Structure 1
Amino acid sequence: MTTRLTVPTAHPYDVVIGNGVQDQLRGLVGEDVLRVAIIHAPSMRHQAEILRRPLVADQLDVHLIEVPDSEQAKTADVLTFCWKVLGESGFTRSDVIVGLGGGATTDLAGFVAASWLRGVRFVNVPTTVLGMVDAAVGGKTGINTAQGKNLVGAFHEPVGVLCDLDVLQTLPPAEMRSGLAEVAKCGFIADRSILELIEAAPETIADPGSSIVAELITKGIAVKARTVATDLHETGADGSIGREALNYGHTLGHAIERFEGYRIRHGEAIAIGMVFVAELAHRTGSIDKHLLDRHRSVLEIIGLPTAYRPGTWEPLLASMRLDKKTRGDQLRFVVLEGLEEPAILAGPDESVLLDSYRAIS
Structure 2
Amino acid sequence: MQANTLTAQSQVHINLAERSYAIHISRGILGDPASYQGLPQASCALIVSNTTVAPLYAAQLQAALKPHFPKILLVTLPDGEVYKNWQTLQLIFDVLLENACDRKTVLFALGGGVVGDMTGFAAASYMRGVPFVQVPTTLLAQVDSSVGGKTAINHPLGKNMIGAFYQPLRVLCDLDVLKTLPPRELSAGLAEIIKYGPIADMEFFAWIETNLDALLAGDAAALAHAIRRSCEIKAWVVGQDERESGLRAILNFGHTFGHAIESGLGYGEWLHGEGVGCGMVMAAHLSERLGLIDMALVERITRLSERAGLPVRGPVLDPVDNAGRYLELMQVDKKAEAGEIRFVLIDKPGSAVMRAVPEAMVRSVIDACCA
TM-score range, shorter chain: over 0.9
Q: Which residue of 1 aligns with 2:327?
A: 317
How far did 1:113 drift?
0.2
Q: Which residue of 1 aligns with 2:290?
A: 284
Q: Which residue of 2 aligns with 1:181?
A: 191
How far did 1:309 drift?
2.9
Following superposition of structure 1 onto structure 2, how do residues 337-348 of structure 1 map, counting pairs within 5 Å?
Answer: 337-346=347-356, 348=357
Aligned counterpart in structure 2 of residue 353 of structure 1, from 345, 352, 362: 362
How far did 1:61 drift?
0.8
Q: In structure 2, how many angstroms separate the alpha carbons of the residues matched to 1:12 and 1:217? A: 19
Q: In structure 1, how many angstroms separate the alpha carbons of the residues matched to 2:70 and 2:135? A: 18
Q: Which residue of 2 aligns with 1:133?
A: 143
Aligned counterpart in structure 1 of residue 23 of structure 2, from 8, 15, 30: 15
How far did 1:194 drift?
2.2
**Counterpart check, 1:305 vs 2:311:** yes
Q: In structure 1, how many angstroms separate the alpha carbons of the residues matched to 2:280 and 2:244? A: 20
RMSD: 1.3
Q: In structure 1, how many angstroms separate the alpha carbons of the residues matched to 2:367 and 2:42? A: 55
Q: Tell me the secondary structure at the aligned position of residue 294 of structure 1.
A: helix
Q: In structure 1, how many angstroms separate the alpha carbons of the residues matched to 2:138 and 2:251? A: 18
| 1:239-278 superposed Cα distances (whole Å, 9 cap, x missing partner) | xxx1000010000100101112121011111111111111
Q: Which residue of 2 aligns with 1:239?
A: none
Q: Which residue of 2 aligns with 1:250?
A: 255
Q: Tell me the secondary structure at the aligned position of residue 324 of structure 2.
A: helix
Q: In structure 1, how many angstroms separate the alpha carbons of the residues matched to 2:69 and 2:118? A: 27
Q: Tell me the secondary structure at the aligned position of residue 37 of structure 2.
A: helix
Q: Tell me the secondary structure at the aligned position of residue 201 of structure 1.
A: helix
Letter in 2 for 1:33: A
**Aligned partners of 2:259 and 2:275 also within 8 Å:** yes
| 1:294-323 superposed Cα distances (whole Å, 9 cap, x missing partner) | 111121221211112344322221110000
Q: In structure 1, how many angstroms separate the alpha carbons of the residues matched to 2:139 and 2:309? A: 15
Q: Which residue of 2 aligns with 1:41?
A: 50
Q: 1:339 to 1:28 in 2, by over 3 A?
A: farther
How far did 1:70 drift?
2.3
| 1:144-181 superposed Cα distances (whole Å, 9 cap, x missing partner) | 01111100000000000000000001101111110010
How far did 1:200 drift?
1.4
Q: In structure 1, how many angstroms separate the alpha carbons of the residues matched to 2:77 and 2:39? A: 21
Letter in 1 for 2:194: A
**Aligned partners of 2:13 and 2:235 also within 8 Å:** yes
Q: Tell me the secondary structure at the aligned position of residue 345 of structure 1.
A: strand
Q: In structure 1, how many angstroms separate the alpha carbons of the residues matched to 2:70 and 2:218? A: 34
Letter in 1 for 2:265: E
Q: In structure 2, how many angstroms separate the alpha carbons of the residues matched to 1:6 and 1:227? A: 12
**Aligned partners of 1:276 and 1:357 also within 8 Å:** yes
Aligned counterpart in structure 2 of residue 99 of structure 1, from 104, 109, 126: 109
TM-score scaled by structure 1? 0.95
Q: In structure 1, how many angstroms separate the alpha carbons of the residues matched to 2:53 and 2:211? A: 31
Q: Which residue of 2 aligns with 1:172?
A: 182
How far did 1:95 drift?
1.3
**Aligned partners of 1:4 and 1:15 also within 8 Å:** yes
Q: Which residue of 1 aligns with 2:3?
A: none
How far did 1:29 drift?
3.4
How far did 1:58 drift?
4.7
| 1:83-136 superposed Cα distances (whole Å, 9 cap, x missing partner) | 111011111121100000001110000000000011110000000000001110
How far did 1:72 drift?
3.0
Q: 1:229 to 1:177 in 2, by over 3 A?
A: same
**Counterpart check, 1:294 vs 2:300:** yes
Q: Tell me the secondary structure at the aligned position of residue 29 of structure 1.
A: coil
**Aligned partners of 2:107 and 2:132 also within 8 Å:** yes
Q: Tell me the secondary structure at the aligned position of residue 168 of structure 2.
A: coil
**Aligned partners of 1:141 and 1:154 also within 8 Å:** yes
**Counterpart check, 1:199 vs 2:209:** yes
Number of corresponding residues? 354
TM-score scaled by structure 2? 0.92
Following superposition of structure 1 onto structure 2, how do residues 320-335 of structure 1 map, counting pairs within 5 Å?
Answer: 320-335=330-345
Q: Which residue of 2 aligns with 1:116?
A: 126
**Counterpart check, 1:152 vs 2:162:** yes
User: Which residues of structure 2 form unaligned runs of 5+?
Assistant: 1-5
Letter in 2 for 1:115: S
How far did 1:81 drift?
1.9
Q: Which residue of 1 aligns with 2:10?
A: 3
Q: Tell me the secondary structure at the aligned position of residue 36 of structure 1.
A: strand
Following superposition of structure 1 onto structure 2, how do residues 84-95 of structure 1 map, counting pairs within 5 Å?
Answer: 84-95=94-105
Following superposition of structure 1 onto structure 2, how do residues 16-95 of structure 1 map, counting pairs within 5 Å?
Answer: 16-22=24-30, 23=32, 24-27=34-37, 29-30=39-40, 32-46=41-55, 47-58=57-68, 60-95=70-105
Letter in 2 for 1:228: V
Q: In structure 1, how many angstroms separate the alpha carbons of the residues matched to 2:68 and 2:193? A: 37
Q: In structure 2, how many angstroms separate the alpha carbons of the residues matched to 1:28 and 1:88? A: 27
Q: In structure 1, how many angstroms separate the alpha carbons of the residues matched to 2:36 and 2:235? A: 23
Question: Identity of aligned pairs, percent?
Answer: 37
